Amino acid sequence: MAKRHTGNVFDYDLFVIGGGSGGIRAARMAANAGARVGLAEEDRLGGTCVIRGCVPKKLMVNAADYSDAFRGAAGFGWSAGEPSFDWPSFRTAKDREISRLESIYRKNLAAAGVQIFEERAVLADAHAVSLASCGTKSAKHILVATGGAPFVPDLPGAGLASTSNDVFLLDKLPDRVLIVGGGYIACEFAGILNGLGCRVTLNYRGEQILRGFDGDVRSHVSEAMSARGIEVCLNAETESIDRNGPALAVRTTGGSLSEFDFVLYATGRRPNTAGLGLEAVGIELGRGGKVPVDSYSQSPVPSIYAVGDATDRINLTPVAIREGAAFAQTVFMNNPTPVDHANVPTAVFTRPEIGTVGMTEEAANARGKTVVYSTRFRPLSAVIAGSKEEVLMKVVVDRASRVVLGVHIVGPGAGELIQAVGIAVRMGATKEDFDRTVAVHPTAAEELVTLTEPVGEA
């Protein structure tokens, strides 16, 4: 029988529920600071990002990008036979890399002295968790880092739909694919599967994809997706899914009926907190099951903290890692560290790629008067390759202070660019700071420091 906590005697100083990016970072840092740490993960170490999210998805983006490279090579003088893509070979390589990364996480946790439980843990009370293998374990602090999970709405035939989790496990690529949703996950998979040779239709119930992003970015990516052969259907509500032999018959708003081989629902994610016992210990969960926390990731129950997608703040892996680190610094390193969620740079691996940091033009205009600088152009490599796809670069500036409020990029390497630009925006750089920076030529990035004429003021 496991020892129960009495007074200040606990089995662990910290017990982490969830072995994803945020939980692993917190566990390692706390253990390295001398804490006794236990961690439970019922699936595989690495969480959504490593196992069924960012990493395998980016590998799929890389694979899809080779289709562009093959098409453009002739413009640069290369000739080769007709290219073909072998999904099983790619999937084997992808799975091997995921296993390698998972083993690194396991080794690093063990080296830090973290005790790993490969099973589900649920809260027994404010200072204890229950494990099937060994009963109850007590802890001075408990960290909930269980991430999120894809959500499929309740509609006739919902059980026939797949989610992003399923894409990575496909035995073969489907020919006809319907993707339902218009967020970044839906748009990323539309670009990936299109690039790998699938015929892709995207149904979104709204007026434009990528709600919450800058308006020019939204329209630019939508147009580019259509130009690549993706059928983007806006104001399209999916009503039902039925089996028709080997095919899936999908009925949409207005009674339209189409058949597909694979239906992917990417209509959002919800915190993976159901059944953890949070309500029983006095934590009232928020919308979708999110754990309410303060700026130090502490819940209303002082001994229980939460980080990452379980809190539904900014659901990005680097944010979860930063939250996990801030938690460890606050609780175990005598360095109270709130998490700053302002001006978080991010990349969206649509095809073409998005990099964005700071305010959209719409949000900035709602706050005050702005000046906008923007350009669209075909990069040098695209011209030679015969591609008509353009790059979009946009800088949103506060009219009075000249501080750069937001930068938005669509095009090759946008994610790499926005990482560096994000530093400048977080430091409060002005448009004149950008202007005083010497351009790197010939690059697409030089446009960011050579924009001189505003295209709009508000």
Known catalytic residues? Answer: 441
* Angle, in degrees to the nearest 10, between helices 54-73 and 87-112: 140
279-289 b/e (C-beta count within 10 Å ≥ 16 → b): eebebebeeeb
Bridge partners (DSSP) of residue 348 are 354
Cα–Cα distance between 150 and 210 in angstroms, integer? 17
Give the residue carrying structure tokens 């928020």.
Answer: 286
Q: Are 196 and 190 in contact (CB under 8 A)?
A: no
Amino acid at 291: V
**Two structure tokens written together for 344:** 């978080």
The angle at the Cα of 16, spanning 12 to 19, to the nearest 5 degrees, equals: 140
Sheet with 231-234: list strands edge to edge. Answer: 231-234, 199-204, 176-180, 262-265
Question: How many CB atoms sit inside 10 A of residue 157's CB?
Answer: 17
